[in-house]
Amino acid sequence: MSVLLVADIDQGALAPASARVLSAIAGLGPVDVLVLGNDTDAAAAEAANLVGVARVLVAKGLVAADADADVIVALSSGYHFVVQSAGSVGRDRMPRVAARLDVMPVTDIVQILAPNRFVRPIYAGNALQTVRDDQPIHVLTIRASAFRAAATGNAAPIQRLDLAMQSSVRLIATHRTPSDTPDLATAQVVVGGGVALGSAENFQLVEKLAKKLGAAIGATRAAVDAGFAPNDWQVGQTGKIIAPDLYIAIGISGALQHLAGIQGAKKIIAINTDPEAPLVKLADVALIGDLFDIVPKLTAELDRLGVKR
Ligand SMILES: Cc1cc2nc3c(=O)[nH]c(=O)nc-3n(C[C@H](O)[C@H](O)[C@H](O)COP(=O)(O)OP(=O)(O)OC[C@H]3O[C@@H](n4cnc5c(N)ncnc54)[C@H](O)[C@@H]3O)c2cc1C
Protein backbone atom coordinates (compact mmCIF):
# COMPACT_ATOMS: atom_id res chain seq x y z
CA MET A 1 0.00 0.00 0.00
CA SER A 2 1.34 3.44 -0.83
CA VAL A 3 0.88 6.85 0.69
CA LEU A 4 0.81 10.35 -0.79
CA LEU A 5 1.68 12.80 1.98
CA VAL A 6 0.87 16.39 1.06
CA ALA A 7 3.51 18.58 2.73
CA ASP A 8 2.75 21.64 4.82
CA ILE A 9 4.84 24.54 3.55
CA ASP A 10 5.56 27.68 5.51
CA GLN A 11 7.21 30.50 3.53
CA GLY A 12 9.00 28.05 1.25
CA ALA A 13 10.22 25.82 4.09
CA LEU A 14 8.78 22.50 5.24
CA ALA A 15 6.58 23.07 8.30
CA PRO A 16 7.38 20.89 11.36
CA ALA A 17 3.92 19.26 11.12
CA SER A 18 4.91 17.22 8.04
CA ALA A 19 7.73 15.37 9.84
CA ARG A 20 5.27 14.47 12.60
CA VAL A 21 2.63 13.24 10.15
CA LEU A 22 5.31 11.17 8.43
CA SER A 23 6.11 9.33 11.67
CA ALA A 24 2.36 8.76 12.22
CA ILE A 25 1.93 7.07 8.83
CA ALA A 26 5.28 5.26 8.73
CA GLY A 27 3.62 1.83 9.05
CA LEU A 28 1.14 2.31 6.18
CA GLY A 29 3.52 1.77 3.26
CA PRO A 30 6.04 3.65 1.11
CA VAL A 31 5.50 7.39 1.41
CA ASP A 32 5.82 9.90 -1.44
CA VAL A 33 5.75 13.51 -0.29
CA LEU A 34 3.99 16.03 -2.52
CA VAL A 35 5.48 19.52 -2.23
CA LEU A 36 2.95 21.85 -3.75
CA GLY A 37 3.51 25.56 -4.23
CA ASN A 38 5.93 28.08 -5.65
CA ASP A 39 9.58 28.60 -4.60
CA THR A 40 9.60 25.28 -2.76
CA ASP A 41 13.20 24.12 -3.34
CA ALA A 42 14.06 24.35 0.36
CA ALA A 43 10.91 22.48 1.38
CA ALA A 44 11.60 19.73 -1.16
CA ALA A 45 15.16 19.29 0.10
CA GLU A 46 13.95 19.13 3.72
CA ALA A 47 11.31 16.53 2.79
CA ALA A 48 13.90 14.41 0.95
CA ASN A 49 16.01 14.41 4.12
CA LEU A 50 13.26 12.80 6.26
CA VAL A 51 13.70 9.11 7.02
CA GLY A 52 10.80 7.13 5.58
CA VAL A 53 10.29 9.22 2.43
CA ALA A 54 10.55 7.17 -0.80
CA ARG A 55 10.21 10.08 -3.27
CA VAL A 56 9.53 13.78 -3.23
CA LEU A 57 7.20 15.05 -5.94
CA VAL A 58 7.30 18.78 -6.63
CA ALA A 59 4.40 20.44 -8.41
CA LYS A 60 3.57 24.09 -8.93
CA GLY A 61 0.71 24.98 -6.65
CA LEU A 62 -2.01 27.42 -7.43
CA VAL A 63 -2.04 28.12 -3.68
CA ALA A 64 -5.78 28.12 -3.25
CA ALA A 65 -7.41 25.08 -1.63
CA ASP A 66 -9.91 24.46 -4.40
CA ALA A 67 -7.27 24.52 -7.13
CA ASP A 68 -4.68 22.58 -5.10
CA ALA A 69 -7.27 19.83 -4.52
CA ASP A 70 -7.38 19.32 -8.32
CA VAL A 71 -3.60 18.81 -8.42
CA ILE A 72 -3.72 16.36 -5.50
CA VAL A 73 -6.57 14.39 -7.09
CA ALA A 74 -4.74 14.25 -10.43
CA LEU A 75 -1.74 12.69 -8.65
CA SER A 76 -3.68 10.43 -6.31
CA SER A 77 -4.30 7.48 -8.63
CA GLY A 78 -2.28 4.46 -7.54
CA TYR A 79 -2.12 5.62 -3.92
CA HIS A 80 -4.13 3.98 -1.13
CA PHE A 81 -3.78 6.92 1.24
CA VAL A 82 -3.80 10.67 0.66
CA VAL A 83 -2.76 12.41 3.85
CA GLN A 84 -2.06 15.88 5.22
CA SER A 85 -1.78 17.35 8.71
CA ALA A 86 -5.02 18.57 10.29
CA GLY A 87 -3.75 22.16 10.25
CA SER A 88 -5.74 24.94 8.62
CA VAL A 89 -4.43 24.12 5.10
CA GLY A 90 -5.09 20.37 5.39
CA ARG A 91 -8.55 21.01 6.84
CA ASP A 92 -9.29 23.21 3.85
CA ARG A 93 -7.88 20.93 1.14
CA MET A 94 -8.58 17.35 2.18
CA PRO A 95 -12.41 17.47 2.31
CA ARG A 96 -12.30 18.88 -1.26
CA VAL A 97 -9.97 16.03 -2.31
CA ALA A 98 -12.31 13.49 -0.69
CA ALA A 99 -15.37 14.99 -2.37
CA ARG A 100 -13.73 14.81 -5.79
CA LEU A 101 -12.73 11.17 -5.15
CA ASP A 102 -16.25 10.45 -3.89
CA VAL A 103 -15.08 9.11 -0.51
CA MET A 104 -15.50 10.32 3.06
CA PRO A 105 -12.40 11.79 4.71
CA VAL A 106 -11.32 10.63 8.16
CA THR A 107 -10.15 13.75 9.96
CA ASP A 108 -8.12 14.73 12.99
CA ILE A 109 -6.59 11.29 13.54
CA VAL A 110 -4.56 10.91 16.77
CA GLN A 111 -3.74 7.20 16.46
CA ILE A 112 -3.53 4.66 13.65
CA LEU A 113 -4.47 1.18 14.89
CA ALA A 114 -4.42 -0.57 11.49
CA PRO A 115 -4.44 0.58 7.84
CA ASN A 116 -8.23 0.91 8.04
CA ARG A 117 -8.75 1.71 11.76
CA PHE A 118 -8.19 5.19 13.09
CA VAL A 119 -8.72 6.95 16.43
CA ARG A 120 -10.02 10.53 16.45
CA PRO A 121 -11.36 12.84 19.16
CA ILE A 122 -15.03 13.81 19.26
CA TYR A 123 -17.17 16.05 21.53
CA ALA A 124 -14.39 18.68 21.79
CA GLY A 125 -11.87 16.03 22.80
CA ASN A 126 -14.00 14.57 25.60
CA ALA A 127 -14.24 11.16 23.92
CA LEU A 128 -12.15 9.17 21.47
CA GLN A 129 -13.82 7.40 18.58
CA THR A 130 -12.36 4.43 16.66
CA VAL A 131 -13.50 4.37 13.04
CA ARG A 132 -13.12 1.69 10.37
CA ASP A 133 -12.62 2.98 6.85
CA ASP A 134 -13.03 0.35 4.13
CA GLN A 135 -13.15 2.79 1.21
CA PRO A 136 -10.84 2.11 -1.77
CA ILE A 137 -8.77 5.20 -1.02
CA HIS A 138 -8.33 6.73 2.42
CA VAL A 139 -8.25 10.52 2.62
CA LEU A 140 -6.91 11.42 6.05
CA THR A 141 -5.94 14.41 8.13
CA ILE A 142 -3.62 13.75 11.07
CA ARG A 143 -3.30 15.76 14.26
CA ALA A 144 0.46 16.39 14.05
CA SER A 145 0.84 17.41 17.69
CA ALA A 146 -0.01 13.83 18.76
CA PHE A 147 3.18 12.45 17.16
CA ARG A 148 6.94 12.95 17.41
CA ALA A 149 8.84 14.09 14.32
CA ALA A 150 10.42 11.56 11.96
CA ALA A 151 14.20 11.41 11.99
CA THR A 152 16.38 13.12 9.38
CA GLY A 153 19.26 11.64 7.36
CA ASN A 154 17.60 10.39 4.17
CA ALA A 155 18.35 11.32 0.57
CA ALA A 156 15.11 10.55 -1.26
CA PRO A 157 15.00 11.44 -4.98
CA ILE A 158 13.22 14.66 -5.93
CA GLN A 159 11.05 14.57 -9.04
CA ARG A 160 9.66 17.75 -10.59
CA LEU A 161 6.27 17.39 -12.23
CA ASP A 162 5.00 19.51 -15.06
CA LEU A 163 1.27 19.73 -14.47
CA ALA A 164 -0.69 22.30 -16.36
CA MET A 165 -3.73 22.69 -14.13
CA GLN A 166 -6.39 25.23 -14.90
CA SER A 167 -8.51 26.85 -12.26
CA SER A 168 -10.95 29.69 -12.08
CA VAL A 169 -9.83 30.24 -8.47
CA ARG A 170 -6.90 32.60 -7.89
CA LEU A 171 -5.20 33.53 -4.66
CA ILE A 172 -5.10 37.31 -4.56
CA ALA A 173 -3.07 37.95 -1.41
CA THR A 174 -1.77 36.36 1.77
CA HIS A 175 -1.33 38.43 4.91
CA ARG A 176 1.08 37.07 7.45
CA THR A 177 1.44 38.19 11.05
CA PRO A 178 5.18 38.66 11.63
CA SER A 179 6.38 36.59 14.58
CA ASP A 180 9.71 35.47 16.00
CA THR A 181 8.15 32.92 18.38
CA PRO A 182 7.92 29.17 17.66
CA ASP A 183 4.97 27.63 15.84
CA LEU A 184 2.18 27.24 18.41
CA ALA A 185 0.91 23.88 17.16
CA THR A 186 4.29 22.14 17.45
CA ALA A 187 6.08 24.17 20.19
CA GLN A 188 7.65 22.32 23.13
CA VAL A 189 6.81 25.11 25.58
CA VAL A 190 3.72 27.31 25.38
CA VAL A 191 2.83 30.24 27.64
CA GLY A 192 -0.88 31.07 27.44
CA GLY A 193 -2.78 34.05 28.78
CA GLY A 194 -6.44 34.59 29.60
CA VAL A 195 -8.82 37.50 29.75
CA ALA A 196 -7.62 38.21 33.30
CA LEU A 197 -4.63 40.02 31.76
CA GLY A 198 -7.05 42.90 31.22
CA SER A 199 -5.48 44.60 28.18
CA ALA A 200 -3.24 44.06 25.16
CA GLU A 201 -0.56 46.05 26.97
CA ASN A 202 -0.70 43.77 30.01
CA PHE A 203 -0.63 40.73 27.71
CA GLN A 204 3.04 41.64 27.15
CA LEU A 205 3.68 39.99 30.54
CA VAL A 206 2.82 36.70 28.83
CA GLU A 207 4.89 37.58 25.78
CA LYS A 208 7.96 38.52 27.88
CA LEU A 209 7.83 35.25 29.83
CA ALA A 210 7.37 33.28 26.60
CA LYS A 211 10.33 35.01 24.98
CA LYS A 212 12.51 34.23 27.99
CA LEU A 213 11.62 30.54 27.71
CA GLY A 214 11.79 30.37 23.89
CA ALA A 215 8.12 29.43 24.06
CA ALA A 216 5.17 29.95 21.74
CA ILE A 217 2.35 32.24 22.91
CA GLY A 218 -1.23 31.07 23.37
CA ALA A 219 -4.43 32.78 24.43
CA THR A 220 -7.99 31.95 25.39
CA ARG A 221 -10.84 32.89 23.14
CA ALA A 222 -12.00 35.38 25.76
CA ALA A 223 -8.61 37.11 25.55
CA VAL A 224 -8.72 37.09 21.74
CA ASP A 225 -12.31 38.35 21.63
CA ALA A 226 -11.35 41.18 24.01
CA GLY A 227 -8.60 42.19 21.56
CA PHE A 228 -5.74 41.40 23.97
CA ALA A 229 -4.16 38.82 21.64
CA PRO A 230 -4.33 38.06 17.91
CA ASN A 231 -6.67 35.42 16.58
CA ASP A 232 -3.91 33.01 15.55
CA TRP A 233 -2.81 32.64 19.20
CA GLN A 234 -6.16 31.12 20.22
CA VAL A 235 -5.87 27.67 21.76
CA GLY A 236 -8.83 25.34 22.08
CA GLN A 237 -11.77 23.78 20.33
CA THR A 238 -12.05 26.62 17.82
CA GLY A 239 -8.36 27.52 17.92
CA LYS A 240 -5.09 25.61 17.73
CA ILE A 241 -4.54 22.19 19.26
CA ILE A 242 -1.26 22.11 21.17
CA ALA A 243 0.77 19.29 22.75
CA PRO A 244 3.82 20.92 24.36
CA ASP A 245 6.05 19.37 27.00
CA LEU A 246 5.12 22.33 29.22
CA TYR A 247 2.08 24.64 29.19
CA ILE A 248 2.09 27.66 31.51
CA ALA A 249 -1.49 28.94 31.80
CA ILE A 250 -1.75 32.46 33.18
CA GLY A 251 -5.14 33.69 34.41
CA ILE A 252 -7.01 30.98 32.51
CA SER A 253 -10.04 29.31 34.09
CA GLY A 254 -9.95 26.09 32.06
CA ALA A 255 -13.28 26.12 30.23
CA LEU A 256 -14.04 22.87 28.38
CA GLN A 257 -13.46 24.55 25.01
CA HIS A 258 -9.98 25.65 26.10
CA LEU A 259 -9.13 22.25 27.62
CA ALA A 260 -10.02 20.64 24.27
CA GLY A 261 -6.90 22.27 22.84
CA ILE A 262 -4.40 21.35 25.56
CA GLN A 263 -5.10 17.69 26.22
CA GLY A 264 -1.74 16.67 24.76
CA ALA A 265 0.23 18.96 27.13
CA LYS A 266 2.56 16.83 29.23
CA LYS A 267 3.01 19.21 32.19
CA ILE A 268 0.81 22.15 33.11
CA ILE A 269 1.61 25.05 35.42
CA ALA A 270 -1.43 27.19 36.26
CA ILE A 271 -1.19 30.70 37.70
CA ASN A 272 -4.57 31.75 39.07
CA THR A 273 -6.17 33.50 42.03
CA ASP A 274 -8.88 30.82 42.23
CA PRO A 275 -7.81 27.47 43.71
CA GLU A 276 -11.09 25.97 42.43
CA ALA A 277 -10.53 26.88 38.76
CA PRO A 278 -10.74 23.72 36.58
CA LEU A 279 -7.30 24.33 35.09
CA VAL A 280 -5.78 24.71 38.57
CA LYS A 281 -7.23 21.32 39.51
CA LEU A 282 -5.86 19.75 36.33
CA ALA A 283 -2.40 21.35 36.65
CA ASP A 284 0.74 19.53 37.78
CA VAL A 285 1.83 22.71 39.58
CA ALA A 286 -0.51 25.54 40.63
CA LEU A 287 0.68 28.96 41.76
CA ILE A 288 -2.26 30.50 43.57
CA GLY A 289 -2.05 34.28 43.53
CA ASP A 290 -2.25 37.43 41.47
CA LEU A 291 -0.67 37.03 38.02
CA PHE A 292 0.42 40.69 38.10
CA ASP A 293 2.54 39.81 41.12
CA ILE A 294 3.73 36.30 40.13
CA VAL A 295 4.54 36.64 36.42
CA PRO A 296 6.96 39.62 36.65
CA LYS A 297 8.72 37.90 39.56
CA LEU A 298 9.00 34.67 37.57
CA THR A 299 10.42 36.51 34.55
CA ALA A 300 12.85 38.47 36.73
CA GLU A 301 13.99 35.27 38.46
CA LEU A 302 14.63 33.60 35.09
CA ASP A 303 16.61 36.72 34.15
CA ARG A 304 18.59 36.51 37.38
CA LEU A 305 19.36 32.85 36.73
CA GLY A 306 20.47 33.73 33.21
CA VAL A 307 17.90 31.40 31.61
CA LYS A 308 17.95 31.89 27.85
CA ARG A 309 16.50 29.55 25.23
C1 LIG B 1 -18.57 27.32 20.67
C2 LIG B 1 -17.52 27.84 21.58
C3 LIG B 1 -16.20 27.65 21.24
C4 LIG B 1 -15.17 28.12 22.07
N5 LIG B 1 -13.87 27.90 21.74
C6 LIG B 1 -12.89 28.28 22.58
C7 LIG B 1 -11.51 28.03 22.28
O8 LIG B 1 -11.17 27.48 21.24
N9 LIG B 1 -10.59 28.43 23.19
C10 LIG B 1 -10.90 29.05 24.37
O11 LIG B 1 -9.99 29.38 25.15
N12 LIG B 1 -12.19 29.31 24.66
C13 LIG B 1 -13.18 28.95 23.80
N14 LIG B 1 -14.46 29.27 24.11
C15 LIG B 1 -14.74 30.15 25.27
C16 LIG B 1 -14.70 29.42 26.60
O17 LIG B 1 -15.98 28.89 26.88
C18 LIG B 1 -14.31 30.38 27.76
O19 LIG B 1 -15.20 31.46 27.74
C20 LIG B 1 -12.88 30.91 27.68
O21 LIG B 1 -11.97 29.88 27.47
C22 LIG B 1 -12.56 31.61 29.01
O23 LIG B 1 -11.34 32.29 28.87
P24 LIG B 1 -10.51 32.75 30.17
O25 LIG B 1 -10.05 31.55 30.90
O26 LIG B 1 -9.50 33.72 29.65
O27 LIG B 1 -11.57 33.60 30.99
P28 LIG B 1 -12.37 33.27 32.31
O29 LIG B 1 -13.13 32.00 32.17
O30 LIG B 1 -13.12 34.50 32.64
O31 LIG B 1 -11.24 33.00 33.39
C32 LIG B 1 -10.38 33.95 33.89
C33 LIG B 1 -9.53 33.29 34.97
O34 LIG B 1 -8.56 34.20 35.44
C35 LIG B 1 -8.48 34.13 36.84
N36 LIG B 1 -7.99 35.44 37.31
C37 LIG B 1 -8.68 36.63 37.35
N38 LIG B 1 -7.87 37.61 37.78
C39 LIG B 1 -6.66 37.04 38.01
C40 LIG B 1 -5.41 37.55 38.45
N41 LIG B 1 -5.23 38.86 38.72
N42 LIG B 1 -4.37 36.69 38.59
C43 LIG B 1 -4.52 35.37 38.32
N44 LIG B 1 -5.69 34.83 37.88
C45 LIG B 1 -6.73 35.67 37.73
C46 LIG B 1 -9.87 33.79 37.30
O47 LIG B 1 -9.84 33.16 38.57
C48 LIG B 1 -10.34 32.85 36.20
O49 LIG B 1 -10.02 31.51 36.52
C50 LIG B 1 -15.50 28.79 23.27
C51 LIG B 1 -16.85 28.98 23.61
C52 LIG B 1 -17.83 28.52 22.79
C53 LIG B 1 -19.28 28.71 23.18
The pick from 191, 225, 232, 252 for probing ligand 1's pocket by mutation, whose C-beta has the most ligand atoms within 8 angstroms, reads 252
Q: Is the pLDDT of residue 194 over 80?
A: yes
The contacts of residue 88 (CB under 8 Å, 6+ apart) are none
Mean pLDDT taken over the chain: 93
Atom of ligand 1 nearest to the CA of 291: 42
Share of the chain above pLDDT 70, in %: 98
Q: Which amino acid residue places its CA nearest to atom 27 of ligand 1?
A: 195
Q: Which residue has the higher pLDDT, 145 or 266?
A: 266
**Does residue 209 have a pLDDT over 70?**
yes
Residue 221: its pLDDT value, please?
Answer: 98
Classify residue 257 by burial, with Cβ atoms within 10 Å: 0-12, 13-18, 19+.
Answer: middle
How remote is the CA of residue 295 from the centroid of ligand 1, in Å? 18
Statement: residue 5 has pLDDT above 80: yes
- Are 270 and 283 in contact, with CB atoms under 8 Å apart? yes
Residue 284's contacts (CB-CB under 8 Å, 6 or more residues apart) are 267, 268, 269
CATH class, 184-304 region: alpha beta
Contact indicator for 50, 154 with CB cutoff of 8 Å: yes
The mean pLDDT value for 223-228 works out to 98
pLDDT reading at 290 higher than 70: yes
* Residues contacting ligand 1 via CB (< 6 Å): 194-196, 220-223, 234-239, 251-253, 255, 257-258, 261, 271-274, 277, 290-292
> Domain ranges in the chain?
3-160, 184-304
Fold held by 3-160:
Rossmann fold (3.40.50)
pLDDT grade, residue 309 (50/70/90)? low
Q: C-alpha angle with apex 56: 51 to 57, nearest 5 degrees?
A: 160
Q: pLDDT band for 62, please (50, 70, 90 cuts).
A: low
Tell me the mean pLDDT in the region 199-219. 96
Q: What is the pLDDT of residue 308?
A: 66
Mean pLDDT confidence for 163-172: 75
Interval between CA 263 and ligand 1 midpoint (Å) = 16
Instruction: For residue 274, give the ligand 1 atom closest to its CA.
Output: 47
Is the fold of 3-160 the same as that of 184-304? yes
